[in-house]
Amino acid sequence: MKRRFIAPIAALAASGILLAGCSSDSDPEESGSTGGSTDGGDMAAGCEDYADYGTFDGAAVELYGTISGVEADQLNQSLDQFRECTGIEVTYNGSDEFETEINVRVEGGNPPDLAIIPQPGLLQRVVGTGAVVAAPEAVEANVDEFWSEDWKNYGTVGTTFYAAPLMASVKGWVWYSPTEFSDNGYEVPTTWDELMTLTQTMADNGGSGDAYKPWCIGFESGTATGWPGTDWIEDLVLRQQGPDVYDQWVAGDVKFSDPEIKEAFESFGAIATNPDYINGGLGDAASIVDTAFQEAGLQILEGNCSLHHQASFYEAQWPEGTTVAEDGDIWAFLTPNVNADDGAAVTGGGEFVAAFNDKEETQALQAFLSSDTWANERVSIGGVISANKGLDPANASSPIGQASIEILQGEDTTFRFDASDLMPAEVGSSAFWTGMNDYVGGSSLDSVLTDIDNAWP
C-alpha cells in the first residue's frame, strides 16, 4: 500500500513548516516543531506502514464528527495502530448536533483539530468562517493519486483544496428477492423502460396476498422526513439528463419547474402515485410519508412487495440471519440507466476531513486518513465503504459493499454527490424534502415544483 506524508523539504521550508523526524537521529530543535510535538524516536517493529507520519512525544489531536455508536467504536479501532506507532493520542468526539456545534465551537475560538464533515455544502459554510486551513501537500498528493477529480472538487472551495474524502455510500440500489425473481422468471432490468415493464408484470401477477404491490417506499425520518424521495429524483435527473444538467440543477441554473427536472418527478410519480404499484403491505401512496425508511423494505421479506429503492447502507436494516447475496435472501441492482449501453451513473454521499490548524500532528493524522492504508484498515473492520482507488474491494464486509466499491472505482463511472446535500439548506434539506412529501400526499406537481423554486435563496 502506498502512503504519503513527507513532502519535499524545499516545499515545506517555503511554507515555514517542517515535519517531525522519523528517526532517532533527528534533533527536535532542528525539526522546526510548531505544535509542541517532539521527535519520539525510532518506529517500533510492525510500524513500517506508518514511518512516513513521524513519531511524536505527548502530541494529541481531536477528531470531531457525526459518527456515533458502533461506527464510532470502529473508527477508533482503525486508528489504534496509528496511535501506537506515531505516539499521537487521537481522541474522537461524535455529536448528533454536529452541524450546529461546529459553528458554535468555531465562533467561540475552540474548533477541533480535525472535523469529519458530512456534506460539501456544510464544508463550504465552515470554510466561509475563515477557520479552516488549506490541506497540506501530502494530503493533496494522496487525493490526486487515490481519488477521482470529482471527489477532489467536492473538497475544494473556490480554487483552494481543503478536505480529503473519507468514506462513501452508493445510492440508487433497488433491493429485491432473488428467489422471487427466479420463481417468476423475472430478469434484472437494464433500462428504465424495462424496470417499468417489470413493475407492470409484477402488478399483473400479484403476490402472496391482497396487500401485495410491486413497490414499497418509506419517507419518514423524523425531522428529515422526505429525504428518501430526493434520492429518487437525483438518480433520475442524472440518468435522464446527464451530469451537466445535474450540476446546473445543483447550482440553481436549472429550476425544479424546468422540463428536465419535471420529467424526473413524473417518472418517479409513475411509480409512487400509482395505486397499482404502491405501497405493498403498508397502504396507499399517502402511507409513504408515514412509513419509516428503515422499515419499508422489510415488506419484501413478507412477500408484500418486490422492490425497494435505497442506498447501500440499507444493508444494515435487514434482520439478523438475512443473507444479502446474489443467490441469497436479498440482493440489489442499481437503478437502471435510460439506455443500456450508457456507462454507470451513480449518486452517493460521503464525508470530508478538514483541519483547523497546521500543527504537525494534525497534518499527520489528516494525511493518514486520506491514504489507502487507512481506507483498507477501516473497510476491513466492516460496515463502511470508500471510493479510495487504493482500496481492495475484497476487504469490504459484504458482497454489496464489494459491488459498491467496484462501481465507485470504475473508470467509466459518472459519480455525483447527493444533490440535496449540495443545494442551499433552504432548498436541499427543507423545501425539497417537504415537496416530496406533498407530492406523494396528493399535491399537484406544478405547485410542488414552484414551491421548491421559491425557496431558493
Instruction: Determine, yes or no, domain membership for 145.
Output: yes
Burial of 188 (0-12, 13-18, 19+ CB in 10 A): middle
Residues 36 and 132 in one domain: yes
Separation of alpha carbons 213 and 276, rounded Å: 7
Residues 293 and 213 in one domain: yes
User: CB within 8 A of 183, min separation 6: which ones?
Assistant: none
Average pLDDT over all residues of the chain: 90
pLDDT digits (tens, 9 = 90+) for 56-66: 999 999 999 99
Q: What is the pTM of this model?
A: 0.82
Q: What is the pLDDT of residues 401-415, one digit of tens each?
A: 999 999 999 888 899
Average pLDDT, integer, range 317-331: 94
CATH of the domain at 114: 3.40.190.10
The residues, any chain, with a CB within 8 Å of residue 341's CB and separated by 6 or more, are none
Residue 19 placed within a domain? yes
| More confident position, 368 or 2 | 368
Distance CA 270, CA 214 (A): 13
CA dihedral 94, 97, 101, 103 (to 10 degrees): 110
pLDDT given for residue 17 in this prediction? 33
Pairing of strands 331-334, 173-176: antiparallel
Residue 75: other Cβ atoms inside 10 A: 24
> In which element (H, E) is residue 149 found?
helix 149-154
Same domain, 67 and 149: yes
Confidence at residue 86, expressed as pLDDT on a 0 to 100 scale: 96
Q: What angle do CA 64, 68, 71 make, to 5 degrees?
A: 105
The answer to whether the CB of 125 falls within 8 A of the CB of 96 is no
Cell 424534502 belongs to 433
Residue scoring higher pLDDT (32 or 311): 311
Residue 2: inside a domain: no
Helices (H) and strands (E) in the chain, counts: 21, 11
Residues 329 and 358 in one domain: no
Count of structural domains, the chain: 2
Q: What are the tens digits of pLDDT across the range 64-102?
A: 999 999 999 999 999 999 999 999 999 999 998 898 899
* Same domain flag for 164 and 180: no
Cell 521527535 locates to 39
Assess whether 314 and 390 both reside in one domain: no
**C-alpha span between 78 and 81 (Å, rounded):** 7
What's the whole-number mean pLDDT along residues 427-436?
96
Pairing state of beta strands 89-94 and 60-65?
A: parallel
Q: What is the pLDDT of residue 44?
A: 76
Which residues have a Cβ under 8 Å from the Cβ of 443 and sit 6 or more positions away?
A: none
Average pLDDT over residues 326-354: 93
Question: What's the pLDDT score for residue 38?
Answer: 44
In a domain, 180, yes or no: yes
Q: Is the dihedral of CA 319, 324, 330, 332 positive or negative?
A: positive
- Convert 10-28 to b/e letters by CB count within 10 Å (16 or more is b): eebeeeebebbbbeeebee
Question: Which of 365, 368, 378, 351 has its CA nearest to residue 113?
Answer: 365
Same domain? 43 vs 139: yes
Residues 290 and 386 in one domain: no
Q: How far apart are CA 331 and CA 400, in angstroms?
A: 8
Cβ–Cβ under 8 Å, residues 89 and 83? yes
Residue 88 lies in a domain: yes
Residue 170: helix, strand or coil by DSSP? strand
Asked if residue 3 is part of any domain, the answer here is: no
Q: What is the pLDDT of residues 257-278, one digit of tens each?
A: 999 999 999 999 999 999 999 9
Q: Does residue 390 lie in a domain region?
A: yes
Q: In this structure, are 157 and 70 located in the same domain?
A: yes
SS3 state of residue 297: helix
Instruction: Give pLDDT tens digits for 100-115.
Output: 899 999 999 999 999 9
Mean pLDDT of 412-427: 92
Structure confidence at residue 7 (pLDDT): 38
Task: Name the range with the highest mean pLDDT among 7-11, 219-223, 440-444.
Answer: 440-444
136 in the same domain as 214:
no
Report helix angle 372-381 to 69-78, nearest 10.
Answer: 140
Residues 177, 164 within the same domain:
no
The reply to whether 344 falls in a domain is no
pLDDT at 348 over 70: yes
109 is in which domain, residue-wise? 9-168+349-411
Question: Taking Cα atoms as reference points, which of 215, 214, 216 lies closest to residue 290?
Answer: 216
Q: Does 202 share its domain with 283?
A: yes
pLDDT of residue 209: 67
